[in-house]
Amino acid sequence: MADIEELQDRLDFDAEDMASTGTATYSEDDITTLEWQEHIRRRPGMYIGKLGDGTGYDDGIYVLLKEVLDNSIDEYMMGFGRQILVDVSDHDVTVRDFGRGIPLGKLVDVANKMNTGGKYDSAAFKKSVGLNGVGIKAVNALSTLFEIKSVRDGESKSARFQRGTLIYESEIEKTDEPNGTYVHFIPDGEIFRDYAYRDEFIVPLLKNYTFLNTGLAVIFNGKRYISRRGLLDLLKENMTKDPLYEPIHLKGDDIEIAITHANQYGEEYYSFVNGQHTTQGGTHLTAFKESVSRTIKEYFGKNFEYSDIRNGMIAAVAIKVEEPVFESQTKTKLGSRDVGPEGPTVAKFVGDFVKRELDNYLHRNLDVADTILRKVQESERERKEMSGITKKARETAKKVNLHNRKLIDCTIHLNDTRGNEELKQSSSIFIVEGDSAGGSITSIRNAKTQAVFMLRGKPLNTFGLTQKVVYENEEFNLLQAALNIEGGIDGLRYNNVIIATDADVDGMHIRLLLITFFLQFFPDLIKKGHVYILQTPLFRVRNRAKARRSKSKITDSDDETYYCYTPQERVDAIEKLGANAEITRFKGLGEISADEFKNFIGPDMRVDRVTMRKEDRVSELLEFYMGKNTPDRQNFIIDNLVIEDDSEIS
């Protein structure tokens, strides 16, 4: 499927090229066969999703790390090696496992021959993550240095590559090292520009491996991670609100689930297949949500709606299937219909387990059942109270969107059923203040993947309010409709929700009001890494003398024009230009010309991801900053006030 999509992209490009030139040739000279590594390097998105520089949890450098780790995890799942050593600096990675080691005679082939691996034979890797023999080859091709070594039964062999090309291969040598595989690689800076690994994204990845493989120890830069309670530990790690009851933990052959509820809106799920975190769900998660809802409804014998049963639910599901089929090479969504060649469907496998085990649990734990009943009834009451409001709000949102008064849409969306996966992942919506900023972004955005939503004035402070406000407040109702998240974030239309406000006090206030809204009513939007803050430059520093000599405006392409995102960057730019420095302070997005703005939302766009962790104590933070404790907040502002010195600005 991916190859077909890439071919279509190429055809689209060629069609545009022909339209612009009016001529086109097609002969034997146009037929090209690429080496395997060249194909990966030209089309990296097919293999690792988006590229990025390490500032996003789903950037390509983390996929490279995961591809190597998956092989080590597969060894553990087959019963070999109880610990994995992972060392990561800003720019390079080393992974050493203690599994069986790669067969020495095939070490080089495994690293540089496509469709080569040990996972086609399900007897050797019955329920593996990677089955197509591509993963580690992609790491090799996209690295300036890739070293691999295997140790098996007192013998070892190693090889070294540069961008997928073999530059060294050792003979088989005697060794007293323990069995296992060693991989060291340095991602290619030409592909991953200005990249750096960040612990904040690596640690959750490694923790998930330990949650799904109880007893496995992962030593990351000297720190040990291990889990004894599996998915219970995962929920404890990720929940930002206290559970209403102790999580239900059920395990069976090739399936494990954990379920609880909290006083929060929406649903929150963590799904896994063969140890792979399927962030976009798939057939197993769909089956789980359906079967949990049906089982609870049948247990109580009441005609509850599934949305009421699942409101506030936090759950994790992990299954193992033979020869899993994912909907993309990055393996974020399961497409398998069956758990194995001779097994039941995924839906039946999950459904039968949940029906049997969850029903039995509720009959044995009546206090938990009572708590769930109260939570479901509370959600039902609130929904019914809002039924009239929501109907009117939907009609309003539909009319506004039809007339395109608030939303300037793009053509490619995250929830499209077909299309290039890399483009869908780059789909974004900018939430901006008013028509001025909206006009600037709209005129130079990428209409394929970038949409714009324009706010009118400051949004409402939603802290402490109920979901009713989402529908009664026009701004939030229309924003919810634009994002398509009324029924949960499964329908989210844009992978990146980017808050783009002015770099002033009012802009900061609007930013906080929007984040409060998401934290209150759509926390999973933040937990899943969809919400970002756009960073735009505070200052432009350029050569005044050069501008006067040329009698023309200096554009961003000039080597003596600097865009500064911090006061320190401004100081550095002034030092470079000396007395000729001309300094402009950007106080609003509408003040930045379209020609300049195009760089700030292009490939090198600077964004900060909004994160939500248990240790952030979100409830306390919201209470302090957005609650009614005005005197305390005023004192805090006075004690921490920093006055910016604009004396040098001309």
Closest CA to 611 of 521, 502, 511, 533: 533
What are the pLDDT digits (tens) for 170-208?
999 999 999 999 999 999 998 988 899 999 899 999 999
pLDDT, mean of residues 573-577: 89
Please choose, from the candidates 29, 40, 35, the residue with its C-alpha nearest in 3D space to the C-alpha of residue 63. Answer: 40
Both 244 and 358 in one domain: the answer is yes
Report DSSP letters for 509-570, one per residue. HHHHHHHHHHHHH-HHHHHTT-EEEE---SEEEEEHHHHHHHTS---TTSTTEEEESSHHHH
How do strand 248-252 and strand 173-174 relate by DSSP bridges? unpaired
> What is the Cα–Cα distance from 432 to 429, expressed in whole angstroms?
9
pLDDT value of residue 404: 57
User: How many structural domains are present in the chain?
Assistant: 4
Q: Rounded distance, CA 305 to CA 393, Å? A: 21
Q: Which residue has the tokens 């501008």?
A: 547
Nearest to 275 by CA among 341, 222, 227: 227
Which of 225, 242, 271 lies at the terminal end of a domain, its last residue? 225
Q: Answer yes or no: do 60 and 132 share one domain.
A: yes
Residue 599 forms part of a structural domain: no
pLDDT at 18: 41
Residue 1 has pLDDT above 70, yes or no: no
Upper half-sphere CA count for residue 60 (Cβ side, 13 Å): 31
Name which residue leads in pLDDT, 38 or 158.
158
CB-based contacts of 643: which residues, under 8 Å, 6+ apart?
none
Residues with Cβ within 8 Å of 277's Cβ and at least 6 positions away in sequence, in order, are 205, 208, 270, 271, 332
The encoded tokens of residue 238 equal: 């990720």
| Residues 70 and 211 occupy one common structural domain | yes
- Is the domain of 379 the same as that of 442? no
Percent of residues, the chain, with pLDDT higher than 90: 39
Cβ within 8 Å of residue 408, ≥6 positions away: 438, 442, 451, 452, 453, 454
Tokens of 467: 């979901």
Q: Which residues contact 104 (CB under 8 A, 6 or more apart)?
A: 150, 152, 155, 156, 157, 172
271 in a structural domain: yes
Please report the pLDDT score of residue 133 as a whole number.
47
pLDDT digits (tens, 9 = 90+) for 117-161: 555 454 444 565 554 446 788 899 899 999 999 999 999 999 999
Q: Tell me the two tokens of residue 119.
A: 């996972």
Angle between helices 387-402 and 474-483 (to 10 degrees): 70
335-378: per-residue pLDDT in tens? 878 877 777 888 999 999 999 999 999 999 999 999 999 999 99
Residues 264 and 314 in one domain: yes
Do 561 and 447 belong to one domain? no
Rounded Cα gap, residues 569 and 563, in angstroms? 8
User: Terminal CA-to-CA distance of the chain, rounded, Å?
Assistant: 56
Is the confidence at residue 98, as pLDDT, over 60? yes
Provide the H-helix boundaries in 243-365: 283-300, 306-310, 346-364
The answer on 455 and 380 residing in a single domain is no
Residue 4 lies in a domain: no
Give the pLDDT score at 13: 41
Instruction: Please say if the pLDDT value at position 563 is more than 60.
Output: yes
With b meaning 16 or more CB within 10 Å and e meaning fewer, what string describes 294-333?
ebbbebeeeebeeebbbbbbbbbbbbbbbbbebbbbbbbb
Q: Which two tokens stand for residue 424?
A: 């869908």
For residue 215, what is the domain's CATH number? Answer: 3.30.565.10
Asked whether residue 11 is assigned to any structural domain, the reply reads no
Between CA 23 and CA 5 the distance in angstroms is: 25
Residues 80 and 135 in one domain: yes
Mean pLDDT of 201-225: 94
Q: Domain check: are 364 and 445 in the same one? A: no
Final residue of a domain: which of 183, 210, 225?
Answer: 225
Residue 363 contacts residue 96 (beta carbons within 8 Å): no
**Residues 532 and 544 grouped into a single domain:** no
CA distance 355 to 473: 40
Rounded to two decimals, the pTM is 0.76
In a domain, 7, yes or no: no
Token digits for 293?
Answer: 């809802």
Burial (CB < 10 A; 0-12, 13-18, 19+), residue 87, is middle
pLDDT of residue 280 exceeding 60, the answer is yes
Check if the beta carbon of residue 146 is closer than 8 Å to that of residue 135.
no
In a domain, 65, yes or no: yes
Q: Which two tokens stand for residue 407?
A: 């939303």
Question: Quick check: is 29 in a domain?
Answer: no
> Of the residues 369, 384, 399, which one is the last residue of a structural domain?
384
Over range 596-621, report the average pLDDT: 78
SS3 letters across 84-130: EEEEECCCCEEEEECCCCCCHHHHHHHHHCCCCCCCCCCCCCCCCCC
SS (H, E, C) 49-75: CCCCCCCCCCCHHHHHHHHHHHHHHHH
- pLDDT score of 158: 94
Asked if 364 and 419 sit in the same domain, the reply is no
CATH of the domain at 366: 3.30.230.10
CB < 8 Å & 24+ apart, contacts of 208-214: 208/234, 208/272, 208/277, 209/69, 209/73, 209/84, 209/275, 211/237, 212/272, 212/275, 212/318, 213/73, 213/76, 213/77, 213/275
> Chain-centre distance of CA 110, in angstroms?
29
Domain range for 56 = 48-225
Q: Which two tokens stand for residue 91?
A: 């720019």
pLDDT: which is higher, 520 or 19 = 520
* Residue 41 lies inside a defined structural domain of this protein: no
Residues 303 and 399 in one domain: no
> Kind and range of the H or E element at 369?
helix 366-385
Rounded to whole angstroms, the Cα distance separating 120 from 110 reads 13
